Chain A
Amino acid sequence: MTCDRVKDRLSGYLDDDLQADDSRAVRLHLDVCGACASRWDALRASVQVLRDLPRLVPPESLAPGILSRLEVEGRGPGLALLFRPAWNARPLILPSLFPAALVFVAALGAAVTLEAVPRFVKGNGWAWLGAESLPPVAEVSAPRSRDAVLADDFMPPGEASLFFETQVAQDGRVAEVTLLDGEVADAGRVFNALLRERFEPALYRGRPVKTSVYRLISRLDVHAPET
């Protein structure tokens, strides 16, 4: 018998669990092979230390604690759940998800009803359009100024160029004016005039929507080239 075959049979040999022929062959091999005999000795010794391990015992009897817990469980499921260890309580997460899911669906439904409805947007298919959603620009009418401000009247003398964004709210009031480009020192009076401006709000499918108007106000002194 080869060393490899002996090695595979040592555990069975230890348990006296081999066929008689195999057992005899292993015994003969161990008599003549020092490496396998050494392995066999180490195996026997390691198993023996396990067999010699002292039996550990609990510091005190477990029975009183177990019986009192069983008594608690017998009183009703509520208290028993408190005494469950965390890993046994994990299955409870699943049933608790159902009310959570119901609340989530109800909240989602309310949000959809109040703030947004699914609409078919041309070219984009169905989309959720809520208060924060932007409709396609092509389908929004431009806001019209009710009292056209002659911004040039408020421009400072000399060359100046100012670029403004005016945010028009759904009721036509100016919500915000932002100077996007130009000198702040030149913009003061124009800025105040633009804030007082009133608009017919922009419309999207008949509903007034919030929009922005961008305007470049410029005064350039043009001089004929000297000849």
Chain B
Amino acid sequence: MDREQAKKIIEAMLFVSDKPLFLNEIKNVLEDLDAAAIKEAIGELGKYYEESGRAFRIAEIAGGYQILTDPVLAPWLKKLYKTAGADRLSGPALETLAIIAYKQPASKPEIEAIRGVNVDGVLKTLVEKNLVKIAGRRETVGRPIIYGTTQEFLQYFGLNSLDELPKLDEFHFTENDIELPEHLKKEQEEPKNEISEPTQENR
């Protein structure tokens, strides 16, 4: 298969797909191309879009590739689909997501210990929006449910992987003596369990 042909096929796949397309999905279709060649083709395609002033961009999102529109076009697209993109996550939702993203898997009491407020409602919304999922139960007293972020989370924020989030210690105020998450955990273990699952505790 010649190169241009392969590029065309990849372009068509990216165009049709409504979610990020993984490298191996493309590879399954174009069997005689190796990963490096596919990546190169996608790179060229993206470059072509940009250099020739097309409306599209190719982004690496949630571990796959996806065609997106150039951000400068947003004002017009908003006119076309009035309701789309209007709803944003609330402050509490973003804070809770931030904690889960870095501490995952995190239990409700752990999140509440950091935020200092009840997070029942927020967690429910985040699970409903599929930004957060139940990742199992922690094998400690009360076996609290633990939460983690989803693929959808990466897609929503346009991240390729969690590594793209800034490192926690890049934020100031975290120098020297404050960096003791384990210490903190130990100290707050007791109140945490109290908040969590009273039914389980009263066995």
| A and B bind | no
